[in-house]
Structure 1
């Protein structure tokens, strides 16, 4: 417990300059668990450009890991152009059930590019993911546009396909204001530190700590998240 408190104090010190940019207001940190299962990869075997699929389920436990909120299901289709290089589009469903708030259903269309920045499978892999989302809430009128940019660094310790540290950071940017609450600007930053561990030649486990910084007009918060992912890869 002492080590955990020390780690959180250290994280707070690192994030202090970022948080200082937000307006001073009520701060309500939360402890959460995000569990993700992904099935993704080319439908056909072989090299070159291949059709691919993405299927994802992600339950999140919020309010000190006591309440399911939200529940997410995401599907996508596209093409795999090469290692760490693909283009996808798809549909996202999300059920939001905030404590003390109104239950809503969110529907999104999304488009995504995964691009390699640096690739040495034996030592270091750096990629970026660019995603554009069109968000709607049932019973609301406005369409919310949001852009997301993620940079991911993976360092296998014993050559290609081995376990090693994993770092990534993502910025979520609202492109317009909506009647259901989306605000324009950089409204969320996520920073993850953990490890990638192969469980099977096609199955990887990713686990670690993520700081989710949420910034809204008049308030901000930092959620402390245990982020766990199982990723099953199809094809080569």
Structure 2
């Protein structure tokens, strides 16, 4: 059973990679961006945890403010390897016309495991997104696969890679048609300086399906995340 599960995981990763390559090969407008993130979490009970995220993002080679995300959540451990979570996100985005404000409710299932020295995980998230100037709710699926490996035995430093595919589940005027919404692919390093905390830094390639007859948007992102455990 474990071998079958591992084969399914590898197949899923390959499928996500092929989707990313074909999606990224489309013509696109490009920008260099800077994303920073602070993630804090702690224990509520033996099986429940709280998490709070703050993510400021900058566009136009990092010169202009683009977006702010504030995302609290509570998770429940189903086992040592799997958990479910319920959360909310407030998203403020600066556009050419106005500052848009979005509210999101989301639900999530996560699974993590190890294979030899590789640590890998899967995260499936459903989002219900509401924009301040629209009565339409956009439903979106996000699927992430992530893997890391220590650069040397017993090292605090790890090589890290992940891919996340975003899929709109319905048509809305403001979030676009159903189908692939965007893809994010990350490669970098992780410094796990204690059992509860870590820092991740690397390159993130974001491709957004703008829709219509317009070119896709491709962003080259310097991404950094600081996880603090309590």
Which of residues 193, 218, 225 is equivalent to 1:222? 218
Which of 151, 170, 187 lines up with 1:193 in the alignment?
187
Task: Tell me whether 1:166 sits opposite 2:166 in the alignment.
Answer: no
Deviation at 1:160, TM superposition (A): 6.1
Q: Which runs of 5+ in 1 are unaligned?
A: 1-14
| Cα distance in 2, alignment partners of residues 113 and 16 from structure 1 | 26
SS at match of 1:155: strand
- 5+ unaligned residues in a row in structure 2: which ranges? 1-19
Residue 49 (structure 2) pairs with residue 59 (structure 1): no
User: What's the CA shift for 1:196?
Assistant: 0.6
Equivalences for residues 201-212 of structure 1 within 5 A: 201-212=195-206
Residue 44 (structure 1) aligns with: 45
CA RMSD of aligned residues (A): 2.0
* TM-score under structure 2 length normalisation: 0.84
Structure 1 residue 132: Cα displacement? 0.2
Match of 1:119 in 2: 114
Cα distance in structure 1, aligned partners of 2:114 and 2:109: 16
- What is the TM-score of this pair, normalised by structure 1? 0.82
Counterpart CA distance in 2 for 1:127 and 1:184 is 26
Looking at structure 2, the residues matched to 105 and 194 of structure 1 have their Cα atoms a distance apart, in angstroms, of: 31
Determine which of 13, 18, 22 is the counterpart of 2:23: 18
* Aligned twin of 2:99: 103
Partner SS for 1:177: coil
Taking a change above 3 Å as real, the CA distance of residues 82 and 205 of structure 1, as seen in their structure-2 partners, is farther
Q: What is the alpha-carbon distance in structure 2 between the residues aligned to residue 211 and residue 220 of structure 1?
A: 13
